[in-house]
């Protein structure tokens, strides 16, 4: 069980606010920190890892006190059994894949490194340096390196946001396998609702200066659902055709064409638009 209470003054686009945290996370769960940018999600991970000091707080992990500001207790970063995967991977550029993973171990065990290379499909790449790897491959190395520390906590700060959908889905499967088979308590910062639904058992919603335990993902997101299907897209092209305009949009990575009345607004390449349609009788096909 993780018991974490903290207060920290932060500065967002709308001004200064005090982040107030009071959360409990059961051991072995994979949970999400969800909310708008600038609400303190990454700062919360950094406070747990010891990289940022709260103004006041208390952190107990599996019965061990890591932080108690009232008693002036603060466990150093290097003594906290935490694996932290950053959005930019933070691999050592002068080390090979194998050396990056080996470096994370307190006790060097080649057999365990080999196991991680096999689990993450990195055997063939083990002697390459990060500059020769794709984004997905670098992310796998970052995850393997974090787990090589044998952490009690795995902290993931939007680790998949820069990856293509196929690579993201593949690594999501690996994260789910790691959580189920190895039982590492994991906190995932993500803006991807489908990712949270797929991976997480619980969601903590960051909203202004408050953090709420919303329970299962459906409890948070289903309350936001309506009778419409909505997408956010970007205009690539606008062509006038008699009394209508044909807009070419990109939604995610998928280009689509829609027809709108010629009298309905002006659209130019680069404009962000909301596309909404009634959710009744949709055409759905399995890919």
DSSP characters over 166-225? HHHHHHHHHHHHHHHHH--EEEEE---HHHHHHH-SEEEEEETTEEEE--SHHHHHGGG-
Residues 208, 39: Cα–Cα separation, whole Å: 6
Structural domains in the chain plus CATH codes: 2-224 (3.40.50.300), 228-278 (2.40.50)
pLDDT for 223: 59
> What SS3 class is residue 283?
coil
pLDDT for 234: 84
The torsion region of residue 92 among left (phi > 0), alpha (psi -120 to 50) and beta comes to beta
- Which parts of the chain register pLDDT below 70? 221-228, 278-287
Residues 223, 219: Cα–Cα separation, whole Å: 7
Paired tokens of 2: 């993780």
What is the C-alpha R_g of the chain? 22
Within 10 Å of residue 135's Cβ, how many Cβ atoms? 13
Within 10 Å of residue 98's Cβ, how many Cβ atoms? 21
Exposed (0-12), middle (13-18) or buried (19+): which is 124, by Cβ within 10 Å?
exposed
Residues 16, 24: Cα–Cα separation, whole Å: 26
pLDDT for 233: 81
Please name the residue that has the structure tokens 């209470």. Answer: 5
pLDDT for 286: 61
pLDDT for 107: 83
Within 10 Å of residue 228's Cβ, how many Cβ atoms? 11
């Amino acid at each position: 069980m993780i018991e974490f209470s903290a207060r920290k003054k932060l500065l967002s686009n709308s001004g200064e606010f005090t982040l107030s945290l009071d959360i409990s996370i059961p051991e072995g769960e994979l949970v999400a920190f969800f909310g708008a940018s600038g609400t303190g999600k990454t700062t919360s991970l950094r406070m747990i890892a010891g990289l940022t000091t709260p103004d006041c707080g208390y952190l107990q992990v599996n019965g061990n006190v890591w932080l108690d500001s009232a008693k002036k207790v603060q466990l150093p970063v290097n003594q906290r059994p935490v694996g932290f995967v950053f959005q930019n991977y933070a691999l050592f550029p002068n080390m090979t894949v194998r050396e990056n993973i080996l470096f994370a171990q307190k006790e060097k065990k080649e057999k365990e490194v080999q196991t991680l290379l096999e689990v993450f499909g990195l055997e063939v790449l083990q002697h390459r340096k990060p500059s020769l790897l794709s984004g997905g491959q670098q992310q796998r190395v970052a995850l393997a390196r974090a787990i090589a520390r044998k952490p009690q906590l795995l902290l993931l700060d939007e680790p998949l946001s820069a990856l293509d959908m196929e690579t993201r889905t593949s690594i999501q499967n690996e994260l789910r396998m790691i959580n189920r088979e190895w039982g590492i308590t994991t906190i995932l910062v993500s803006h991807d609702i489908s990712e949270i639904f797929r991976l997480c058992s619980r969601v903590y919603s960051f909203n202004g200066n408050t953090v709420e335990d919303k329970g299962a993902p459906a409890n948070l997101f289903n309350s936001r659902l309506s009778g419409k299907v909505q997408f956010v897209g970007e205009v690539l092209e606008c062509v006038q055709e008699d009394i209508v305009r044909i807009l070419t949009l990109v939604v995610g990575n998928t280009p689509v064409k829609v027809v709108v009345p010629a009298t309905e607004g002006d659209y130019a390449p680069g404009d962000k638009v909301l596309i909404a349609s009634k959710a009744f009788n949709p055409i759905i096909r399995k890919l």
